Amino acid sequence: MQANVRLGRSDLHVTPICLGTMTFGEQVGQADAFAILDRALERGINFLDTAEMYSVPARRETFGATETILGHWLAARPGARDKVVLASKVAGPSRGMDWIRNGSPDLTVEDILAACDASLRRLQTDVIDLYQIHWPVRHAPAFGALYFEPRKLKPCSSIEVQLEAMQRLVRSGKVRAIGLSNETPFGLCEFIRVAESAGLPRVATVQNPYGLINRVVDNGLDEAMHHHQVSLLAYSPLGFGLLTGKYDACGLDDPADQPGRMALFDSMKKQRWGRPEALDASRAYNAPGA
């Protein structure tokens, strides 16, 4: 598999397929994670994505577990680090997870710098190739929310402040390129505008959900990314497994032959993929002759 996809205007070139790792440390133990990573590398995949808050479902006990497993794998595989493009993320405001920066509703320069240093230690590497803001610091519709609600706006670190923190990481050699996740068209355009006007690092990517049962990217973000030369990292293309068909017969209760996140974790059923219309849509897509 050729690493011929350039991420935005950065110098990062990746394979068309990225291995997401957010189940490592919860559903997937270290031995199985090592086997998956070895197989991905063997098949030519050079792009790995993780985040400080993984594994999922997010909880205090497994915060940082996925990065730790990846760090152990890199340490046990001399030369592997030079073969992969490694992406991670700093969590945005805590969203009720009080173990992330003591539940801070903001993301300051100091928060970003400290989070990056902690990720580097867990990953056992000197540099993160793509460092992303996991969700917006400001109030914005994300994780299945559909509508912007101005009444929920609160003071927070500005986009310029966030980019200044990223600039410090890039200049120090700890980060090569930066990205966003769960971002809106407005947010992306503001990050680009501020970066270009203030001489700060330019966003290379946006990592958002995109698949047959989530087409939000097509509602304006695609246009913004095209004109600003920003790459899409599509996550959950199978809708947490709904599009594989394994939930078609049993619903979200328990496909005993192949239990998945939607069956194992009640919290997952409350997310956008657990909506009845999502399962109905997936069944329609999976139907013979569809």
List, for residues 212-241, the tens digit of each pLDDT value: 999 999 999 999 999 999 999 999 999 988
- Which of 54, 131, 210, 247 is catalytic? The answer is 54
What local confidence, expressed as pLDDT, does residue 146 receive? 84
Residue 180 amino acid letter: L
195: nearest Cα among 133, 241, 145: 133
pLDDT band at 257; cut points 50, 70, 90 = low
List of domains in the chain: 5-237 (3.20.20.100), 241-290 (no CATH)
List phi, psi (to 5°) of 10: -75, 175
Assess whether pLDDT exceeds 80 at residue 270.
no
Distance CA 109, CA 121 (A): 19
In which band, very low, low, confident or very high, does the pLDDT at 262 lie, cut at 50, 70 and 90? confident
Residue 167 CA to residue 171 CA, distance in Å, equals 6
Q: Hey, which of 56-60, 90-94, 132-136, 280-284 has the most confident mean pLDDT?
A: 132-136
- Cβ atoms of 89 and 60 within 8 Å: the answer is no
What's the pLDDT at 253? 72
Cβ neighbours of residue 88 closer than 8 Å, sequence gap 6 or more? 49, 50, 51, 52, 67, 119, 123, 128, 130, 131, 132
Helix 65-76 × helix 30-42 angle, to 10°: 60
The residue with greater pLDDT, 36 or 271, is 36
* 10 pLDDT tier (thresholds 50, 70, 90): very high
State yes or no: is 54 an active-site residue. Answer: yes
HSE toward the beta carbon, residue 241, CA cutoff 13 A? 18
Does residue 41 have a pLDDT over 70?
yes
Q: Give 272's pLDDT tier (boundaries 50, 70, 90).
A: confident
- Give dist(CA 28, CA 66) in Å, integer: 10
Please, are residues 119 and 112 in contact by the beta-carbon 8 Å criterion? Answer: no
Does residue 34 or residue 255 have the better pLDDT?
Answer: 34
Asked if the model's pLDDT at residue 186 lies above 90, the reply is: yes
And the tokens for 152?
């929920």
pLDDT at 89 over 90: yes
Q: What CA–CA distance (Å, rounded) separates 255 from 242?
A: 12
Rounded to whole angstroms, the Cα distance separating 280 from 6 reads: 36
Tens digit of each residue's pLDDT (9 = 90 or more) over 57-76: 999 999 999 999 999 999 99
**Mean pLDDT, residues 108-115 taken together:** 97
pTM equals 0.95
* Confidence at 122, pLDDT banded by 50, 70, 90: very high
At residue 76, the pLDDT reads 98
For the packed helices 185-198 and 159-171, what is the interaxial angle rounded to 10 degrees? 60
Mean pLDDT, residues 6-32 = 97
**Averaged over 10-20, what is the pLDDT?**
98
For residue 290, pLDDT beyond 80: no
For residues 249-273, average pLDDT:
75
Question: Using omega within 30 degrees of 0 as the cis cutoff, is the peptide bond preceding 185 cis?
Answer: no
